[in-house]
Amino acid sequence: MLSAGDLLDNRYRLDDRIATGGMGDVWRGTDVVLGRTVAVKVLRTAMLEDPEFATRFYGEARMMATFRHPGVVEVYDYASDGDFGGQEKVAYLVMAFVEGEPLSSRVKEGPIPVTETLSIVAQAADALHAAHQAGIVHRDIKPGNLIVKPTGAVILIDFGVARSAALTSVTGLNAIVGTALYMAPEQVAKGDLTPATDVYALGAVAYHCIAGRPPFDGENALQVALRHLEDEPPPLPDHVPVEVRHLIAKAMAKQPSDRFQSAAEFAEAAFAAAGPMDWKRLTGTAMVAPLSPAAPTRAVPRPRNFPPQAPVGPPPVPYTAARSSQPLAQRGLMFAILALFAIAGTLGVVFLLNPTGDKQPTTSPTQQNEQVVEEFPTEASEEAEPSTEVTSRRPVKRSRSASASPSPSLSSASPEPSETTPATTEPTTPATTTPATTTPATQPTTTAPTETEEPEPPVATTTTAGAGGGTAP
């Protein structure tokens, strides 16, 4: 028999027994190595005689040691066959010591206000959801396993050992009667234990807090447990809001599928029903709601698969903007063509340059005017200002020949059609009648070399359009 002052494994000293249950005793102890206060739960010897239970308890203790949540007690250590100076076989679990009051002590004093009850339920459900996400089902939710800190924060304790306690309660051990008061129907029927089992038990705890009594009572644990299978709990007091009644009724539905689909859904419903509260005062943190710590594990609807979308980029350019950009592109192309023709014309001038100066400078304006006479008949007669008229008509095509009869100046340029051919960029079909008329159409740039002798003709030559000779538009 353990007593105060015993030292487990030369490390954990038992100071005060703070609780006694069907599975063992809970002690406030001291870790003499680290110098901190701990809670030590020592299992009864009878429990250790069942190898299956001992193995399950050890495995779930290991699982809880890796689980962290602000609303769940932290597990520090586990040991069996500890040496405490006696011959009795022992196994124990070392946990964080939580300063606070068990909810079981609060409910003994009478009903708890609805708002405070909803706060307790919301926090406990939030912690349960985190445990469920980790694959852990508590299986023994009851007021004695909920510690309310002075700030109002709620801590869940006794994870991993509840299943055996529940099964034992049905057999009639008086020490486990407390578990039967909040046992889910499927738990009584030895069915599958799922997260919905914890939701039912927490709903029964909420009922007890508000009504001031458990939902069912009886002469023994078995009778109480069977009532969870067959009976409906009495109505809650009249002052309880309708939404709170519905919330508890849904949590305590006989069929697991009719309850909240997750502890997170239960927590959200309790939080919404509680309304505005001073969560900072209750939890001792700056959180606006108790659900914040478990937000990453809160139930979220499964995202739907949408067809892939085009990557996000700049907005499409309006059609009007695209149209307005076309002239700019055309102008750029036109300038490039002009530059090429200018270079070709310059090369042609150098190639055709004659040191004797036989070419007549007066033939170029006349010839150019005759080339554009078909496109602009009204301007062909204005030979006095060829540069002005031709400059304004750059887009005129150069492949077409004038229909008018050649002038004397044009005939003087006809004897040299072969020399102008290298400077042209477009093929020309020779005429069948008069060579003089076809030669200007092929390339009237033979007079271009003479324009270098006078200041005015070069200007007209570089600005004229449609006559060829490297000055194309």
How many residues in the chain? 473
Task: Based on the residue annotation, tell me whether 31 is a catalytic residue of this protein.
Answer: no
DSSP element (H, E) containing 31:
strand 24-31
Nearest to 385 by CA among 366, 360, 363: 366
Question: Is residue 227 within 8 Å of 214, Cβ to Cβ?
Answer: no
Question: Is residue 470 within 8 Å of 338, Cβ to Cβ?
Answer: no
According to the 3-state scheme, what is the secondary structure of 262-326?
CHHHHHHHHHHHHCCCCHHHHHCCCCCCCCHHHHHHCCCCCCCCCCCCCCCCCCCCCHHHHHHHH
- Say which residues have a Cβ less than 8 Å from residue 169's Cβ, sequence separation at least 6: 22, 176, 177, 179, 180, 183, 221, 225
Tokens coding 40: 């030590």
How far apart (Å, rounded) are the C-alpha atoms in residues 422 and 69? 91
- Amino acid identity, position 439: T
How far apart (Å, rounded) are the C-alpha atoms in residues 463 and 90? 111
Number of H helices, E strands in the chain: 20, 9
Exposed/middle/buried for 342, CB within 10 Å: 0-12, 13-18, 19+?
middle
Looking at 140, 158, 278, 358, which residue is catalytic?
A: 140
Residue 72 DSSP label: B
Q: Taking CA 208 as the corner, what is the angle to CA 204 and CA 213, rounded to the nearest 5 degrees?
A: 130
- Give the catalytic positions in this structure: 140
